Amino acid sequence: MGMNAMIQAQLNNSLHGILNCRCEGNCLLKSIDLNHIDGDDAFLEVEPYDAAFNQSNVDETIDRTKRVLLRRRKAISRALGVKRLSVNFYDEWTMKDAFVVDLEENKITSSVN
């Protein structure tokens, strides 16, 4: 499998691919991968992908990720058929945050940072 095919396979499992995002450049959705779905819950992992992440200020990037997920909540809910997102956020080495996004209530219901 060539490099382009490997990148495309990874993007297909990301919210970028699932939501059929058409952006070409840096896009935070490329870094949000679907791990699995269990009932009404989708389990996502966020890891640095490209310059869409500010490595010098991880808290800013975590807040940006939360805003993106809330802003795209309807499309995510339709595409995945879920009501909640359980999100684990990592940098290159460690887990930085975990939170739950309630898509119906449009809010973050719990967060551990």
Number of H helices, E strands in the chain: 4, 5
Alpha helices in the chain (DSSP H): 3-12, 15-18, 58-71, 73-80
Other CB atoms within a 10 A radius of the CB of residue 16 amount to: 21
Confidence of residue 59 (pLDDT cuts 50, 70, 90): confident
Please give the backbone phi and psi of residue 98, each rounded to the nearest 5 degrees, phi first.
-145, 140
Q: Does this model's pTM top 0.75?
A: yes
Q: Which of 26-35, 36-45, 51-60 has the lowest mean pLDDT?
A: 51-60
